[in-house]
Structure 1
Amino acid sequence: MATAYCSPVLGPVLKKVSSSIWRHQNKIRCNPLVVVSSSDRFSKTALYFGRACTEKVNVKRMHKCSLSASYETLDEQPDSVHEEDEDYISRYTLIWRAVKLPIYSVALIPLSVGSAVAYFQTGVFAARRYFLLLAGSILIITWLNLSNDVYDFDTGADKNKKESVVNIIGSGSRTGTLIAAFMLLALGFGGLVWASIDASNIRALLLLASAVICGCIYQCPPFRLNYRALGEPLCFAAFGPFATTAFYLMQSHTRMELPITGTILAASILVGFTTTLILFCSHFHQVEGDRAVGKMSPLVIIGRRRGSVVVKVAIITLYTLLFVLGLSRALPFTCTLLCGLTMPIGNLVVNYVGKYHEDKAKIFMAKYYCVRLHSAFGVALVVGLLVSRMMINKPIIF
């Protein structure tokens, strides 16, 4: 009932009733001969509830005013509120970022492209060896991620990196994480050696060993060449000419050793190019932290704005190179056509980096757009090679 009294519609009526009751009560107080009847008692009760309800309305009005003032204060200080929201990242999101699942495309794409080139040239595909190499590659990429987190934790580069494995688990996990990383490296490289012995190809093993050495000198002390702006050339060599070519050679067998052809060199260059773009764009959101610890990444040297121009030039170079290799017939026409269809993704990378290169929160996603380009471009290469071979002859799978 009190709620009904407090409604906006009954407010004026309530006010009039309260005024008349108040006047009637004053008459009673002034005339002692007037006997208080039961109706008067009811009037007093009604007056009590009326006053209570009026006070309640006033309290609500005061509360609304205070809320409005609070909202105005928040509107005047949006930056602090947004910063607070940006600082908060759920543990689930941190774990997802630490796992870096999309980054494992850098294990899948070189292997798939190298195997597809071998299949294109010979019509032969060693499925069992492919999956053995895939397992070994995934373990080695995991070693790269874990050990990189440990070494960046040691130098302080990951001090504010919430998704670092060491920061998530705790600083006491540093040694355990490093031991686990090198155990994974031993298992992964063991798988590569096994596949090399199965393929009877020492050249492939030497190339894969060179790729792993690139990973070591990229991040491991005392080298740490990624602190001297040499991470990108090492990344290009490791995942492009070394790994992709090695996986191509792994598809050979004792009766047939594959030659190094223009097709595998062209494909490995393109794979190395898109992989290196992922690494380059991963520096955008870490410029301040890298500079503070003396890590001279390319973006620390040239800055974010020029870095966005480098990304644009890199994408243009990638597709120019694709069409040149297609015209020179180093790549089949189907590869050129299908890879050309990924240009909208390349354009997305350019526009995103160009728009948000100064926004530390949003530019974090740039590397994932590059992963999308890397994956789509690699799949297009694989499908183009497979279609070209199927147009020639029937495949052999063992």
Structure 2
Amino acid sequence: MAATSCNFTQASGFNKLQEQLQLQSYFKRQCHQRSAFGVEKVFHRRYRGWLQVERWHRYQHVSCARVEELAPSVFEENVGEETEEDISKETLIWRAIKLPIYSVAFVPLTVGSAAAYLQTGIFSARCYFVLLASSVLVITWLNLSNDVYDFDTGVDKNKKESVVNLVGSRTGTFIAAYLCLALGFTGLTWTAIVERNLRSILFLVCAIICGYIYQCPPFRLSYQGLGEPLCFAAFGPFATSAFYLLHGNASAMNHFPLSGTVLSASILVGFTTSLILFCSHFHQVEGDKEVGKMSPLVRLGTKKGAEVVKGAVLMLYALLVAFGLSKALPLPCIFLCALTLPMGNLVVRFVEDNHKAIVFLQDKNKIFMAKYFCVRLHALFGVALALGLVVARMLRTTFASRPILS
């Protein structure tokens, strides 16, 4: 009995000692975790942005590594089809309207008007908005007729955002397209007559001809991979120079040659516009191959195409610096356009990071936004260029009006 009581007492004391040791160890762990949590919280608060960037880059590298290890056939049946089915009707209508693409009507007009303002100090709001409405109608013709002729060749048979596929009427889309062209060209011609500058009509006709032979039969030069040069000529030298002539003084601009400033600006505008067209082909490579449309990306492949995008963005800013050093463009243009460098870098990084999804995952939706990033670059660069020309005129006027101290 006594022995049992002694053993129980010893066991009870041992258990209490063990409980105290466990409790002490628990409190030590809690204190250590709290202190570690406090340090980690301070670290995250200070370096949160850097950690997010590093986590994103690590995710991109791991994703690319996994993608390269997997065979394309594993994803062909599921990924592409599922993402296409998930696209809502509203999204398809938005894509069919292509509202951001209408910046290709806004930018040449704005840059050409700003170049004329730099040269003559004249700006007509009435002329600007009539030309803008007419240009939008011509771009609508380009988009609608492109959908019609791509429907005829079978390029858009699986393109759900095609206007013909959404509306269900090839004839109705065709009539609407050429009605827009007629109204748009009427507005451009009327403005040229009112401004007494018929020389601009020649440039505008050349721009429209470039758009016609780009996509319309029997030419269809876009199927030969010549869409980008035609786009460069139409929206760059032809359209920008025409709008420059229409915004100048009639008597002066009819006899005044095109300046180096407007020619340099038009080259930059043509460059950014062509980049939009080039990047719009990334998600259409397979469909273009099936119907024999030899776009530049079909010929080069998406890997080399991503390198071309990088080279084109570098060339854009190299030309900007060259035009500034040669004094073809005023310094405010160089400074303001240089502020768009982050957007140019975003275009390059996005294409480089996502072009592999087309090859390995057969997922076109990852690269679809590339053209819209190019649209943002085009719009920002064009606005900066036009604003730089306006600022240069204001500075010139300010310094010219100052009295010279003897």
What's the TM-score, normalizing by structure 2?
A: 0.76
Match of 2:298 among 272, 295, 300: 300
Mapped to 2, the partners of 1:183 and 1:260 lie a distance apart of 32
| Alignment match, 1:343 | 341
Amino acid at match of 1:110: P
Structure 1 residue ranges without an equivalent (≥5): 1-75
| Alignment match, 2:373 | 369
Mapped to 1, the partners of 2:305 and 2:283 lie a distance apart of 12
Of the two, which has the highest radius of gyration? 1
Match of 1:266 among 264, 267, 281: 264
Q: 1:290 to 1:123 in 2, by over 3 A?
A: same
Match of 1:203 among 199, 211, 219: 199
Amino acid at match of 1:392: R
Report percent identity of matched pairs: 66
Mapped to 2, the partners of 1:262 and 1:82 lie a distance apart of 48
Q: 1:85 to 1:303 in 2, by over 3 A?
A: closer
> What does 1:215-294 correspond to in 2, within 5 Å?
215-257=211-253, 258-294=256-292
**1:308–1:354 contact (8 Å) kept in structure 2:** yes
> What does 1:313-332 correspond to in 2, within 5 Å?
313-332=311-330
| Alignment match, 1:163 | 161
Mapped to 1, the partners of 2:190 and 2:75 lie a distance apart of 61
Q: 1:128 to 1:78 in 2, by over 3 A?
A: closer
Structure 2 residue ranges without an equivalent (≥5): 1-73, 358-363, 399-406
Q: 1:129 to 1:313 in 2, by over 3 A?
A: same
Q: 1:78 to 1:331 in 2, by over 3 A?
A: closer
Mapped to 1, the partners of 2:84 and 2:217 lie a distance apart of 33
Q: State the shift of 1:317 in Å.
A: 0.4
Mapped to 1, the partners of 2:80 and 2:272 lie a distance apart of 34
Q: State the shift of 1:78 in Å.
A: 12
Query: Could you report, residue by residue, the CA deviation over 1:183-224 in whole angstroms, capped at 9, with x for unpaired residues?
Result: 110000000000110111121100000000000000000000
| Alignment match, 1:177 | 173
**2:117–2:248 contact (8 Å) kept in structure 1:** no
- How many residue pairs end up in the alignment? 317
> What does 1:1-398 correspond to in 2, within 5 Å?
80=78, 83-170=81-168, 173-257=169-253, 258-359=256-357, 360-393=364-397
Query: Could you report, residue by residue, the CA deviation over 1:227-274 in whole angstroms, capped at 9, with x for unpaired residues?
Result: 000000000000000000000000123332243110000000000000
Q: 1:79 to 1:230 in 2, by over 3 A?
A: closer
Amino acid at match of 2:288: D
RMSD of aligned residue pairs (Cα, Å): 1.6
Q: State the shift of 1:176 in Å.
A: 1.1
Amino acid at match of 1:207: F
Q: 1:260 to 1:316 in 2, by over 3 A?
A: same
What's the TM-score, normalizing by structure 1?
A: 0.78
Query: Could you report, residue by residue, the CA deviation over 1:8-60 in whole angstroms, capped at 9, with x for unpaired residues?
Result: xxxxxxxxxxxxxxxxxxxxxxxxxxxxxxxxxxxxxxxxxxxxxxxxxxxxx
Mapped to 2, the partners of 1:254 and 1:118 lie a distance apart of 11
| Alignment match, 2:53 | none
